[in-house]
Amino acid sequence: MHLLSCRLQRVRQHLDLQLSFGRQLTLIGGVNESGKSTLVEALHKTLFLRSTATGRGVEELRSRTHGGLPEIELCFAAQGQRWTLRKRFAGAGGTCQLSNQQGQAHSGPAAEEELARLLGLEGPIEGRRIAQLPERWAHLWVRQGDSGFNPLEGKPESYDYERLLQQLQAKTNLGTMQSPLDRQVVEQLQQRLGQLFTATGRIKAGSPLAQVIQREEEGIEQCNAAQQQLLELEQAMERLGAIAERLNSIDQDLRPGLLRERELEQRQHLLQAELEPVLLQHQALERQHKQRQELERTQQEQQKEQRQLQQQLEQALTQQAQRSADQERQAQQSKAAEQHLQHLRAKQERVRQRLDLQQVRRERQQLEAHQQEMNRLQAEASRLKQTLADLPMITAEQVRSLRRAEQAIAQAEARLEAMATSIEVLQSDQAIQLGGALIQPGERRQLNSISDLQVGDGVRLRVSPGGGDALPQSQAQLERCHQDCGLLAKQLGVANSEAAEAIEQRRRSLEQELSTLRQAAKAIPWSGLSERLAALLPRQGELERAIAQASPEELPDAPTALEALDAELRESIQRQSSALEAQQQQQNQERQQEQVQARQLEQQRSRLEQLSGSLAMLNARLQEEAPAEASAERLKELEQELLQRRGTLGAIEAERQQLQRQRPGSLGAAQLLEQLNQEKELLLNERGQNEQRCASLGAQNPSAQLELAQARLENVQRERRQQEREAQALQLLQEHFHQAQAELANRYSEPLCAALNPYLDVLLNAGSERALLEFNPKYGFQQLQLLQDNQAYDFGRLSGGMREQLAGALRLAMAEVLMQAYDGALPLVFDDAFTNTDRQRLAQLQGMLQRGMEQGLQLILLSCHPEDYQHVLNWAQEKSPSDSIEGATGVEVKLSRSS
């Protein structure tokens, strides 16, 4: 299917616009607001919008400057015939006519349906579904501003998904992915699951499963209500029995005992009031008796303590004299031990001076060796740095760039040689000249450009090598490659890539050696090496002078002997120090004990004085107290009276305790009686309420209501389990279908990528870039990516220009696959589709469009800069027109604001 011509009348700014479409290319140019996008929209709505549609879609076609209704005539070829379509958009009064060369004519809805059949669609778009219009042939109709969108991101129906799968199956002999029966099963599964579940997997409201779950919840509520009603009736009856028992217990058991207990409490309070004066008198006499006994006991204790203190004081004076003599002897021993310890420390100091001197000499030798090694490494590093400075600065990337430039020259020479034409003279009886130069028999010449061939005097031929316009391009490409390679070699200062690689390898080897030297230098503690060496010299001199000034003594020179002697002295000093320290600690402890005993001695003397005064006072008080015999007789009489009164109170208390044990709680009898009266009143009220509740609840039969509700709930639960099993079975079956479809998914993306990659080869001219696609049986083709340098880039991450070019290549590839379903041809419309493409890539872009035309596609390009596509237009115009109905292969149209 391809377009032949069109005529637009009274369509926005176009009063009467006629134009013909080329079989391969139609280039439509014009400034902004010249009606290019209007033409694209008019053609699209003519093919897909019903002529009787109303609303915004039709209003956009009407002219505001020309009177009348929009009318469009479109001629196209489909199914081997030429068709003429006329539509007049006038709302409900719109008309549609469709006819062909064989005399078939349709009008009205029949024409709309026949047009949809020719386009492979179910039917035209109604006015109320105008939002669906952009989805029709969205992969073939690129509107202004939409060229950077991925055509696969829309709904599968927007890019002819089903027919695309059929063509991919036919191309690769994969067989059908789904048989008609499979498709019916999948649709029925989806329909039945859609009736049960939402898109998020939740149970859909109003579905049979949701209804049965709702009935189950209602049944549970009814069952719970019946159970609650039966439980309330049983509880009310049980409560009535409990109330009757409690009232009987209050009147027969609790009240008599509490009344007797209250009477005993009153008698007890009266007896306790009479007992109080006797008790006070008895307590006063008892206190006086105890006080006299306490004074006598204190007098005896103080007399005993006085005798003990006098004995201790005599013993302490004797011990004090003995300790003074012992301290004098220990002081003399400590002084001798200190002198011996000082002698050992002085000898140890001389031994350690000799050890330190030997250590300083060893450190000096080691530092001098490190300094010599560091000087050697620095000299070697300077030599390597000088060698590196003498070599040109050539990196591995520059070597690879030079090698690629040489490979480009070889490829350009190979292409040029493949396009050249050779002439060989086998035999001739006349003189043959090529470009003015004589050719002898057996001689062979190769032509890279147009040359004149003259045979004798009467024959003159013009010979053109193959390749057409590509030959000059190849020659220019070869010359550019030579210039680029020469410039790069000149910048590097080498003749070819082999020499550059040798220099780069030499530099890398020298840098590795230099790195090895740096690692070796890191192992040397070079920081502050000279300072440490200079600091050792004064230390060595000080040690030598100290050893020379010391008193002469026989000490070994060997380091091991000195270390052994030092260890022996250290052990002796430690042992002597420990002994001296222990002796001093013992002396300190004895002095502390002496001080403590002196304080104790003073305290004992002071206590003796206190005891003498205290005993004198006690004797005076005892003489003032009454005789002990009279107070004891009166105390005995009071105790007899108290014993009698307490016996009476004990009997009353025992009876009260017995009564209290017979009842619970710790409250008094009066309080309990008050509580029982209140409780009885409340119980009587509650008994009346429960009797009324039993009468109301027993009006119906709660047990029968509960059994009926349980039976209904069991039926509903059985139905719910049946519904859930059916839903799970449907989900499992759908999952198995999806798994089977996923196994064939990648087989559909591969042939589409195979059709897309040749366009990318022409566009990118690199050979390593290719497209990647994923296929999902449910959602169609997804995840369009561009593979560059082994790195996959999502479509959305590409630049604006690259997105336009990749989307254009994909549309060309999809149209190439689909056109076999449309009589081997399809129109592809680009309305200012490559506005973000840089001018350096226009040649490759035109090559990509040329490939699409070579495959049989019809391209309609609309651009504000038609000069950008002159090369591909010239190519299309040079093609000979075929004998079919499409006419010219390349057409250029220029629109203006007054068209």
Mean pLDDT along residues 722-737: 83
Q: Specify the residue for token string 């040079």.
A: 878
Q: For 850-871, what is each residue's pLDDT tens digit?
A: 999 999 999 999 999 999 999 9
Most confident of 423-432, 521-530, 668-677, 735-744: 423-432
- Residue 814: how many CB atoms within 10 A of its CB? 24
Cα–Cα distance for residue pair 831/146, rounded to 1 Å: 9
Cα–Cα distance for residue pair 507/515, rounded to 1 Å: 12
| pLDDT given for residue 766 in this prediction | 63
In sequence order, what DSSP letters do the residues of 112-141 get, joined into one string?
A: HHHHHHHHT-S-PBPGGGGGGGGGTTTTTE
- Sheet strand arrangement including 71-78: 14-20, 2-11, 71-78, 81-88, 95-100, 105-107
Q: For 332-345, what is each residue's pLDDT tens digit?
A: 777 777 777 777 77
Cα–Cα distance for residue pair 425/434, rounded to 1 Å: 11
Amino acid type, 162? E
Residue 87 burial class via C-beta count within 10 angstroms: exposed 0-12, middle 13-18, buried 19 and up = buried
| pLDDT given for residue 884 in this prediction | 45
Q: For 95-133, what is each residue's pLDDT tens digit?
A: 999 999 888 999 999 999 999 999 988 889 887 888 888
Q: For 544-562, what is each residue's pLDDT tens digit?
A: 677 776 665 667 667 787 7
Cα–Cα distance for residue pair 487/146, rounded to 1 Å: 43
Best CA proximity match to 814, nearest among 784, 842, 787, 839: 784
Tokens of 506: 């030499």
Asked if 134 and 122 count as a contact pair (C-beta separation under 8 A), the reply is: no
Mean pLDDT along residues 799-813: 91
| pLDDT given for residue 827 in this prediction | 95
For 1-21+32-135, which CATH superfamily applies?
Answer: P-loop containing nucleotide triphosphate hydrolases (3.40.50.300)
Most confident of 302-316, 414-428, 589-603, 832-846: 832-846
Residue 562 burial class via C-beta count within 10 angstroms: exposed 0-12, middle 13-18, buried 19 and up = middle
Quote the radius of gyration of the chain (alpha carbons, Å).
Answer: 61
Residue 608 burial class via C-beta count within 10 angstroms: exposed 0-12, middle 13-18, buried 19 and up = middle
Q: For 620-657, what is each residue's pLDDT tens digit?
A: 777 776 666 776 777 777 778 778 877 887 887 787 77
Half-sphere exposure of 433 (CA within 13 A, CB side): 10
Lowest mean pLDDT among 29-43, 56-70, 580-594: 580-594
DSSP letter (8 states) at residue 885: T
Q: For 142-179, what is each residue's pLDDT tens digit?
A: 998 888 888 888 787 788 888 887 888 777 655 555 56
CA 212 to chain centre: 41
Tell me whether strands 459-463 and 451-455 are parallel, antiparallel or unpaired: antiparallel
Residue 463: is its pLDDT beyond 50? yes
| pLDDT given for residue 887 in this prediction | 58
Tokens of 385: 């740095």
The CA-based angle 341-343-345, given to 5 degrees, is: 70
Residue 252: is its pLDDT beyond 80? no
Residue 182: is its pLDDT beyond 90? no
Q: For 738-795, what is each residue's pLDDT tens digit?
A: 666 656 656 677 788 888 889 888 888 766 678 888 777 667 788 888 888 778 888 8
Q: For 597-615, what is each residue's pLDDT tens digit?
A: 788 888 877 878 887 888 7
Residue 434: is its pLDDT beyond 90? no
**What percent of the chain has pLDDT above 70?**
88
Tell me the pLDDT band of 899, cut-offs 50, 70 and 90.
Answer: low
| pLDDT given for residue 741 in this prediction | 62
- Where do the H-state alpha helices sit in 56-108? 56-59
Tell me the pLDDT band of 72, cut-offs 50, 70 and 90.
Answer: very high
User: Facing residues of 861 across strands?
Assistant: 27, 830
Asked if 642 and 282 count as a contact pair (C-beta separation under 8 A), the reply is: yes
- Where do the H-state alpha helices sit in 161-207? 161-172, 180-196
Boundaries of every domain in the chain: 1-21+32-135, 137-177+744-878
Counted residue by residue, the chain has a size of 899
| pLDDT given for residue 95 in this prediction | 95
What SS3 class is residue 29? strand
Lowest mean pLDDT among 57-71, 95-109, 353-367: 353-367
| pLDDT given for residue 517 in this prediction | 75
Query: 787 — phi, psi (to 5°)?
Result: -95, 115
pTM for this prediction = 0.44
Tokens of 795: 């479509």
Cα–Cα distance for residue pair 230/238, rounded to 1 Å: 12
Tokens of 455: 């045979």
CA 279 to chain centre: 89
Asked if 768 and 789 count as a contact pair (C-beta separation under 8 A), the reply is: yes
Is the fold of 1-21+32-135 the same as that of 137-177+744-878? yes
Residue 745 burial class via C-beta count within 10 angstroms: exposed 0-12, middle 13-18, buried 19 and up = middle
Pick the CATH number of 137-177+744-878 from 2.30.140.10, 3.40.50.300, 3.30.70.120, 3.30.565.10: 3.40.50.300
Mean pLDDT of the chain: 81
Asked if 543 and 359 count as a contact pair (C-beta separation under 8 A), the reply is: no
Tokens of 584: 């001093």
Q: Specify the residue for token string 């719109």.
A: 94
The residues near 632 (Cβ < 8 Å, ≥ 6 apart) are: 289
Asked if 866 and 894 count as a contact pair (C-beta separation under 8 A), the reply is: yes
Lowest mean pLDDT among 123-127, 235-239, 532-536, 685-689: 532-536
Asked if 676 and 254 count as a contact pair (C-beta separation under 8 A), the reply is: yes
Most confident of 45-49, 218-222, 311-315: 45-49
| pLDDT given for residue 746 in this prediction | 61
Tell me whether strands 451-455 and 432-434 are parallel, antiparallel or unpaired: antiparallel
| pLDDT given for residue 50 in this prediction | 93
